[in-house]
Structure 1
């Protein structure tokens, strides 16, 4: 396989005013590529419409002529909005010329030299470029010369030009054309030839060149990981354009959402949605044990255990190439034991092993899950080192075994492979939160929540981070963003009441405004039973009682939950009644006695 990296010696260009094929009047020669001069001309048959003529610099070079003929045959059959249109092939003085639309606008090279592109603009251009490449690849063609010079921007549209290096997929004989560093290395070409991954590599190099992003730019980390995967070694690179395009769109969505705060939800093609809420009780009324085991006014942590997160995170969609995927899509069971029974009768495959591993994790059997993952890795063979699904499931197992730091490393590997997906960021947010890295946790949670309001686990995680920083109002504001249509809207409303009325860990007690707001929210909150309402009401009344003891009667506004007026005696009467109501929820004689003692202790003293 030969290489052609240096431009040839120049031939002769057409002169201004020269008439080509009796139709195209040359205006100027404005560029020269590796195999052709590029002229701007006027089409006399179309009212002077400007067109571009591309000829040969080496008209007697057999290889160049062959390439030009190939390019003309291919391009005249192509039709895509992001590919320059070739509509004629003419001869003049024994030389062939391609006649194409004149795309009026700067190349991305010119744009780069005049200040560069923002991350969002570069990714928006990449979506169009990859769309064009996907079209070519589906026609069995490789572009092979992607670089900023060959992409013209006109308004919001970009178009690929200069198809002199185009070749058929699988062609191992033609001369290799391309421009370092966009062209892949000789070792890859020798081992694999030019493939779709070579075009992907070139897009990655170009994106890296077009954008100068700082650490504080929205989505900068995801963008860097996207570029890194496009440019990495052959085996870890995006396998095809659709795979990269999914991640480009995901990162672009993240960048735009972080910039303007407007959600742009989109269903993932990689991870299934999870209905689980990663929360340890903040979304529920306090349990009766909050009063029967000593009791504390401090709000609970709300952070779920790592094992609960392991079974509550989203899971990857089954690989469509796996032979058992069609059957797995039909397998349903109400509990992990019965799911494992059904999976046992399926023929072995990587996806069956992954499904079995997750079922064992849900059943609390980590050793069996590890055995299934080992089987999946054996089935994958050498691909196990490059398949992010392996890292994802290893991360779930590490969480289940409380190895959170190791899980974070594994999820980080998944993030490198799928930078546009919310799921690995959600997992990394939890790991950072558990490892006492609040700033990192908040960054990951926010990148998920700002894009899609249906990832309520991210909202709860972000609220917990704000709570531990003593930012009560910020935590409530985040929970208020949970949409009405969400399955967890009710839990978010309950959590907001608890946060407003609770004593933050290491922080201040609620203010009069906080307590009044909690009472007002509780009044309008639709709950699933009298017992739930009673536990929440008792929490709010306790906070109000402590506040009145410190600040006196009249310090809080009246209302149905706190009474009218709000006084020490009135709150004592309400709390006594609330504790006695809670005692009727007791399951043991000891719990009942503790709650009656609380009622007696708070009862207003009488002179009689």
Structure 2
């Protein structure tokens, strides 16, 4: 074995071309052909229905509200959230390889997968021969050369790459306006399995039509001596693969460089609908990886359909790539959830370096090894779910993964540049109420009544009944729900929430236990969390909400709930972290702004708390409350704790500019002048500023306070309160001879 050429690594390159220490692929010569490391797996025994993968465990899974497909309309790459660099179209002739040769570390027997064609004792390996393990013939030489004409219309210009099923050639289609096309041949002409795979492509791949999937134009045969080889004719995509982008980054700089996280997520969001489209017509892709996605200008294309198969195909060989392929493949047939696994693995490979083909072949590194995963917790949880070893724990469809990845994308983008990226949840409603406004710590029952709730499943038999309920009384609602004509899941969940609203935790738990939900339905832990909050059990509530967060990492609601539980438990560090994640992404969650401000004040970070409260948009109904809270946060401390003249002057200007009713203006003005009066009395003279028209001197502040105390007295609701306020005014007024 040779030493790893990467700087700072003392590992060795194994026969497969990967380092046994850093786990990265050895840099290949610039002239080497693009190769695929797809391997074939024997066909699995028939599992249960592909939409319900078999599993030995029954942990939490998601209840998808979506089908397997979405509109095939191509979206803008980057989704209007981030800018993704454009890859210009490439002149097809530039893609032709001068010396097409399969690297030795990519040569494997097409029948048994054993290593073939490897050099020994300094001698190069054979490109043709027989496998020492099974005796099968191998031949890695191109079958076509420049100038060959296939099927009387396709003129070959040369090889452009080597894929899992053989060489790929560039050609001109003289029958259709001399358009550029690609001919994909077989691994070798004697491979019956490879020929069968190609024939399968001929039967169904021509029906695949999606803007993000390479188009199949034709299937032709060409005579090579006494044998005949089949070729798939497909569109030429002249861009750059994601794998080549990563290689280019590592060539130009850091040997462990990966794509920016937002760019990698943008690519994945663009390609998931294409996989969902395949699943919707009964196909699975099987071999998703960065090699098989090409960007050209602002569009992505999924290429190399050689491993695509029908979900119920029990006979064809299964192709996949070690490190990407789901661990159950071979024991079970590939399915949409095995494609989800490959997408999760590919996304991880795009964003951080790790030994994905050996050490972490069926797992991911932790946050200690990869700081990126600790920095973006929602992203880490999404990867963990997508690549779970238990198929039942993964996202149930490409569509479901896309919905959650969209939320993670917005959160990551907002974290990186500080600009909010709000989005509409497909799973939760908005906050029912805003909690913790103007309070030190909200009551847990208030939180339970305020958090978002799952959207009603329109397919539920009780959805129509629930839509017809019009009572405002919780007690009346409970009576109606208990006598509903059908006790469906949605009816049970609404009844449980009604019990939460009246504080009857035991009845809520009993109702949830009787709900006939699918195993792992995330709505159950969500409602159990609400019930635990109503029972003032924040730790138990948090455990339930953490379960929901694992299942729905792109949703804001679980993070908001976890933040509230952390605050109720006195864990201000976690309260800060989760409130911040919600508020930074979406400014419609006003509870998160007030919660984050409370967490910051508890840690002594006063100025940041003020900034957070001032960031509440003026379109919010709680804008004035946030402004008043910001003034109080700025000035509600003593001189010894850091209150400055500038704080008082700025707060005075802010208060003077607010459109307040008489009662709130009088109280806020009194509070601010009280702070200013204490500040003046607590230090040396010499301040030159003014607050609400009062100079920062004792007599001026006394007169101002007297004015506002008397204003409050005139607004008092009771005689006793009025007398108390007048007494305050008399005590604070400056001493005079009159």
Equivalent residue number for residue 364 of structure 1: 503
Equivalent residues of 1:501, 1:510 under 8 A apart: yes
Return the alpha-carbon distance in structure 1 between the equivalents of residues 686 and 146 of structure 2.
Answer: 92
Aligned mate of 2:218, from 73, 88, 95 = 88
Equivalent residue number for residue 212 of structure 1: 352
Alignment of 1:148-159 (within 5 A): 148-159=290-301
Q: CA deviation at 1:164?
A: 2.0
Q: CA deviation at 1:156?
A: 4.3
TM-score, normalised relative to structure 2: 0.72
Secondary structure at 2:676's aligned position in 1? Answer: helix
Q: CA deviation at 1:35?
A: 3.5
Secondary structure at 2:340's aligned position in 1? Answer: helix
Match status 1:401 vs 2:535? yes
Q: CA deviation at 1:553?
A: 7.1
Aligned mate of 2:172, from 28, 42, 49 = 42
Return the alpha-carbon distance in structure 2 between the equivalents of residues 71 and 603 of structure 1.
Answer: 92
Match status 1:263 vs 2:420? yes
Q: CA deviation at 1:417?
A: 1.0
Equivalent residue number for residue 60 of structure 2: none
- Could you list the runs of 5+ residues in structure 2 that have no partner in the other structure? 1-40, 45-107, 112-136, 251-256, 354-369
Q: CA deviation at 1:474?
A: 1.8
Equivalent residue number for residue 699 of structure 2: 569
Return the alpha-carbon distance in structure 1 between the equivalents of residues 662 and 507 of structure 2.
Answer: 43
Return the alpha-carbon distance in structure 2 between the equivalents of residues 431 and 575 of structure 1.
Answer: 40
Aligned mate of 1:545, from 670, 673, 677 = 677
Q: Could you say what the CA RMSD is over the residues aligned between the two structures, in angstroms?
A: 2.9
Secondary structure at 1:605's aligned position in 2? Answer: coil
Secondary structure at 2:181's aligned position in 1? Answer: strand
Equivalent residues of 2:43, 2:315 under 8 A apart: no
Equivalent residue number for residue 289 of structure 1: none
Equivalent residue number for residue 64 of structure 2: none
Equivalent residues of 1:7, 1:34 under 8 A apart: no
Return the alpha-carbon distance in structure 2 between the equivalents of residues 65 and 550 of structure 1.
Answer: 90
Inter-CA distance 509–605: structure 2 relative to 1 (3 Å threshold): farther
Specify which structure has the higher proportion of helix: 1
Match status 1:133 vs 2:236? no
Q: CA deviation at 1:45?
A: 5.1
Q: CA deviation at 1:472?
A: 2.7
Higher relative contact order (CA 8 A, sep 6+): 2
Q: CA deviation at 1:190?
A: 4.8
Alignment of 1:192-207 (within 5 A): 193-207=333-347
Q: CA deviation at 1:476?
A: 1.8
Q: CA deviation at 1:189?
A: 6.2
Equivalent residue number for residue 524 of structure 1: 657
Inter-CA distance 335–556: structure 2 relative to 1 (3 Å threshold): farther
Equivalent residue number for residue 299 of structure 1: none
Equivalent residues of 2:432, 2:449 under 8 A apart: no
Match status 1:327 vs 2:465? yes
Secondary structure at 2:391's aligned position in 1? Answer: coil
Match status 1:484 vs 2:626? no
Return the alpha-carbon distance in structure 1 between the equivalents of residues 288 and 109 of structure 2.
Answer: 16
Equivalent residue number for residue 297 of structure 1: none
Match status 1:223 vs 2:379? yes
Aligned mate of 1:350, from 489, 496, 499 = 489
Aligned mate of 1:375, from 510, 514, 520 = 514
Equivalent residue number for residue 167 of structure 1: 309
Return the alpha-carbon distance in structure 1 between the equivalents of residues 689 and 477 of structure 2.
Answer: 54
Equivalent residue number for residue 513 of structure 1: 646
Equivalent residues of 1:84, 1:161 under 8 A apart: yes
Inter-CA distance 556–445: structure 2 relative to 1 (3 Å threshold): farther
Equivalent residue number for residue 43 of structure 2: 3
TM-score, normalised relative to structure 1: 0.87
Q: How many matched pairs? A: 578
Q: CA deviation at 1:125?
A: 1.2
- Could you list the runs of 5+ residues in structure 1 that have no partner in the other structure? 283-301
Return the alpha-carbon distance in structure 1 between the equivalents of residues 469 and 284 of structure 2.
Answer: 40
Equivalent residue number for residue 303 of structure 1: 441
